[in-house]
């Protein structure tokens, strides 16, 4: 987990930094463990579904392509939930929102397990994903609450790396459960996990928002139970900022390469190399997850180091876009890995082709998180007072776009083939790298053109 670091001697602490001393280092690590564990559960819920698609299709007597729509719907539910939970967390606080989301997850998981029709599956899958959808944006917000500017990149790296364990292990667990147990029992288990997590948070998770900053604290008078209506779409208005819109677009393009490789695994690598066992197909998520785990840890510390060094070069002046410089390496790895995977799957068979594909999966995981981690931390840096909302706006927009994009991946492969589908994704990733470079170079002018309440060094 992340640890507190000493300020550089050239950097003068501000009065605002004293607010981060409310929690001592071991308390911060405990809070970080809490939010990471919730993120792990959310990622587990999202990804275990993929390897079970063939068995669900068989049980419900529908095609695989139809069941894959449930995965696209879950991405849409994730987007809606992120906006709602993050917006209300700025009004009520982080802790209540964590507790309100878990019942949706538990009930939705039981509903998925009991589904006897495709329509029922869609409804309960939406409820299930809605319940855990705030985990990542709320986690980023909590980290922004308790860690200083030059510490939070490492903390977010640790947070993301733990959630990625779910991303790496969940497909294998989901595939194994489908193959040797039951996909229905798997979702009952998720409901029990969510119930334990809710109890865990209730007993030992503190409120982390800065004192006096919550909307409910600013009301002149309120009832013991105060229910307020807050427009959940207001967070999206932050994207009118060219900076926030640019990094959202880059993160979407980069994430798309991940989905292009992973979502159709059963129909690409599975078919090409004669693999039909769901557990084995699920295991192919492991190298990608391991790569993401590696990339998240590296990117977190690297981005903090880059921020410190550039502040020293500027004699204490802070430029938020310096953190994005840590994403450059990943911007080159991502298009190379996804393009190579498509060509290898198409033209290289046997054990050699399979081994090279595993290498591409690992490299893609490293590259994607080398880009996403600095972007996630950048959103917290520049919109510190609304960090959860800024993170949610980015993630929700990305999810909405991806919910449509994932629906065309399999048809694209059927029509154009694996190679061309992956190459097109690689070309878009190169465009994303170019957009990121422009944001780094002209970030100050972009922020000046539309000010959505950006943070300064004095209030960050």
Query: Looking at residue 358, what is its pLDDT?
Result: 92
DSSP characters over 189-222 = HHHHHHHHHHHHHHHH----SPTT-STGGG-SS-
What is the rounded average pLDDT of the residues 15-44? Answer: 84
CA distances from 395 to 141, 362, 381 (A): 13, 23, 16
Predicted TM-score (pTM) of the model is 0.77
What is the rounded average pLDDT of the residues 12-36? Answer: 79
Per residue in 257-289, pLDDT tens?
988 998 788 778 888 888 877 667 767 878 988
Per residue in 377-418, pLDDT tens?
999 888 877 887 888 888 888 877 887 787 788 888 888 989
What is the rounded average pLDDT of the residues 90-107? Answer: 90
pLDDT of 171 strictly over 90: no
Task: Specify the DSSP element, H or E, that contains 321.
Answer: none
What is the rounded average pLDDT of the residues 353-366? Answer: 93
CA pair distance 294, 282, nearest whole angstrom: 20
Query: Looking at residue 219, what is its pLDDT?
Result: 63
CA pair distance 273, 353, nearest whole angstrom: 9
CA distances from 326 to 117, 122, 169, 234 (A): 47, 39, 27, 30
Query: Looking at residue 6, what is its pLDDT?
Result: 42
Per residue in 142-167, pLDDT tens?
998 888 877 888 888 888 888 887 77
Burial code (b: 16+ CB inside 10 Å, e: under 16) for 393-402 equals bbbbbbbbbb
| Residue boundaries of the structural domains of the chain | 24-211+233-451
CATH superfamily of 24-211+233-451: MFS general substrate transporter like domains (1.20.1250.20)
């Amino acid at each position: 987990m992340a640890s507190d670091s000493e300020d550089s001697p050239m950097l003068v602490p501000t009065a605002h930094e004293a607010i981060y001393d409310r929690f001592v280092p071991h308390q911060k690590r405990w809070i970080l463990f809490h939010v990471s564990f919730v993120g792990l559960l959310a990622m587990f819920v999202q990804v275990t579904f993929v390897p079970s698609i063939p068995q669900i299709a068989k049980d419900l007597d529908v095609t695989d392509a139809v069941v894959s729509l449930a995965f696209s719907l879950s991405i849409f539910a994730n987007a809606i939930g992120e906006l709602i939970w993050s917006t209300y967390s700025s009004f009520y606080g982080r802790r209540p929102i964590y507790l309100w989301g878990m019942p949706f997850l538990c009930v939705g998981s039981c509903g998925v397990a009991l589904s006897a029709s495709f329509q029922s599956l869609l409804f309960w899958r939406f409820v299930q994903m809605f319940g855990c959808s705030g985990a990542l944006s709320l986690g980023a917000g909590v980290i922004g609450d308790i860690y200083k500017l030059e510490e939070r990149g490492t903390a977010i790296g640790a947070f993301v790396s733990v959630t990625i364990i779910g991303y790496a292990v969940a497909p294998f667990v989901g595939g194994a459960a489908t193959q040797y147990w039951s996909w229905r029992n798997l979702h009952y288990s998720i409901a029990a996990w969510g119930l334990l997590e809710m109890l865990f948070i209730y007993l030992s998770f503190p409120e982390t928002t800065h004192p006096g900053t919550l909307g409910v604290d600013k009301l002149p008078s309120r009832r013991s139970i105060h229910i307020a209506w807050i427009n959940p779409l207001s967070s999206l208005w932050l994207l009118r900022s060219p900076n926030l819109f640019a990094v959202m677009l880059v993160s979407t393009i980069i994430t798309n390469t991940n989905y292009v490789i992973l979502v159709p695994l059963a129909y690409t690598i599975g078919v090409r190399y004669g693999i039909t066992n769901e557990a084995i197909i699920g295991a192919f998520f492991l190298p990608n997850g391991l790569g993401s785990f590696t990339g998240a840890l590296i990117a977190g510390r690297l981005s903090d180091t880059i921020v410190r060094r550039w502040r020293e070069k500027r004699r204490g002046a802070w430029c938020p876009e310096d953190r994005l410089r840590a994403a450059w390496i990943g911007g080159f790895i991502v298009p190379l890995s996804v393009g190579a995977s498509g060509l290898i799957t198409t033209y290289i068979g046997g054990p050699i082709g399979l081994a090279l594909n595993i290498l591409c999966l690992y490299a893609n995981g490293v590259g994607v998180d080398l880009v996403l981690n600095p972007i996630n931390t950048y959103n917290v840096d520049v919109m510190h007072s609304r960090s959860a909302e800024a993170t949610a706006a980015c993630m929700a927009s990305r999810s909405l776009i991806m919910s449509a994009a994932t629906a065309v991946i399999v048809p694209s492969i059927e029509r154009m083939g694996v190679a061309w589908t992956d190459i097109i994704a690689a070309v878009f990733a190169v465009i994303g790298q170019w957009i990121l470079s422009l944001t780094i170079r002209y970030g100050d002018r972009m922020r000046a053109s539309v000010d959505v309440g950006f943070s300064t060094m004095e209030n960050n």
